[in-house]
Amino acid sequence: SQILSNSDLKKMVDTSDEWIEKRTGIKERRIASAEEATSDLGVKAALIAIERAGIDAKEIDLIICATLSPDHLCMPSTACVIAGKLGINDVMAFDISAACSGFVYMLSMAKAYIESGMKKNILLIGAEKISSVVDYTDRGTCILFGDGAGAAIIGATEDKNEAILDIHASADGRYGDLLITPGCGSKFPCSQETLDNKLNFIKMQGNDVYKIAVKTLTNDVIDILEKNNLESSQIDHFIPHQANFRIIEAVRAKLNFPIEKTVLTVAKYGNTSAASIPMAMNDAYEEGRIKRGDLMLLDTFGGGFTWASALVRFGGK
């Protein structure tokens, strides 16, 4: 509900509107109210997805939530909290932890569940109250992140115009320390000392992450296009993770995606981690840009490091 602008941040840390916009492309980000938790944002997105899919919430037989800012550290999962708030009381529900790659990671799980016939209507939610794990005295991170949620219903279909064609998801744990919330897990349990040292907040070596992000996001797209015998000109919508406009621009230019076919929301929402891709998809849908059968290329990268890309035909009604 609240908008945090670059001018607001200028009052909190040593930065400037010009620096933030030039280095990241971000103008503002949304911040949830103190009363709202990640699940509340997720529920709002889920209700819209259910309505647009034209199904009854009771038809949902699996709920997965991707988040790095869950309502509770250990349990219950945010997916269970969302299920309860939606009144779906007998359903398989769990969270996944893949940072910013969470939405595409869970899309690959949904594809497997649907194609195996194990599930019929799956609710995927990428939701973050990331402001709860951001240190607003650290100018290297606080300028980047924002809160938000996006959701999708993945259902069984025989129609090739609604297919999830291919997904590539991977990780390399060697880079874990470059983007990390070190504390309040089992390694450094929550204590006064952990909190005093701000280990409960996101720490990032931004420039190292930046370089690896550009390389990985680019290679990932090259791989998935080659594997599917597609040219970038055959993609209707390139929907990259919205972390930094300069990262998107480097990948876009290298792969020759026209700017008109690239979905950009980073200026108004900043980096919303697992919510970034479904929020971008939603904006493009609400602007009337995405039509049924359009070929979307999703491309994401995040802490872990994790990364993932997907070729998806939009099956929305």
Point out which residues bind ligand UT7 (CB under 6 A).
15, 19-20, 23-24, 100, 139-140, 143, 206-207, 209-210, 213, 243-244, 247, 271, 301-302
Written as six digits, the tokens of 279 are 């929020």
Q: Is 241 a catalytic residue?
A: yes
Residues 93 and 140: their CA atoms lie apart, in Å, by 35
Q: How many CA atoms lie within 13 A of 92 on its CB side?
A: 10
Residues 306 and 300: their CA atoms lie apart, in Å, by 8
Q: Is 271 a catalytic residue?
A: yes
CB of 145 to ligand UT7, least distance (A): 8
Contact (Cβ atoms closer than 8 angstroms) between residue 130 and residue 273? yes
- Going by C-beta distance under 8 Å and a sequence separation of 6 or more, which residues neighbour residue 77? 65, 70, 93, 94, 95
Written as six digits, the tokens of 159 are 């129609």
The residue (of 236 and 249) whose beta carbon lies closer to ligand UT7 is 249
Written as six digits, the tokens of 152 are 């999708």
The residue (of 139 and 261) whose beta carbon lies closer to ligand UT7 is 139
The residue (of 179 and 290) whose beta carbon lies closer to ligand UT7 is 179
Q: Is 72 a catalytic residue?
A: no
Structural Rg of the chain based on CA atoms = 19
Residues 169 and 140: their CA atoms lie apart, in Å, by 27
The residue (of 134 and 243) whose beta carbon lies closer to ligand UT7 is 243
The residue (of 100 and 153) whose beta carbon lies closer to ligand UT7 is 100
Q: What is the number of the residue whose Cβ is closest to ligand UT7?
A: 206
Helices marked H in the chain — which ranges?
A: 6-10, 17-24, 38-53, 78-86, 102-115, 192-196, 206-227, 245-255, 266-269, 276-286
Phi, psi of 64 (to 5 degrees): -120, 135
Q: Which of 80, 100, 244, 282 is catalytic?
A: 100
CB of 31 to ligand UT7, least distance (A): 17
The residue (of 238 and 314) whose beta carbon lies closer to ligand UT7 is 238
Residues 149 and 127: their CA atoms lie apart, in Å, by 4
DSSP, res 41:
H
- Amino acid type, 233: S
- Going by C-beta distance under 8 Å and a sequence separation of 6 or more, which residues neighbour residue 220? 168, 299, 301, 307, 308, 309
Active site residues: 100, 241, 271
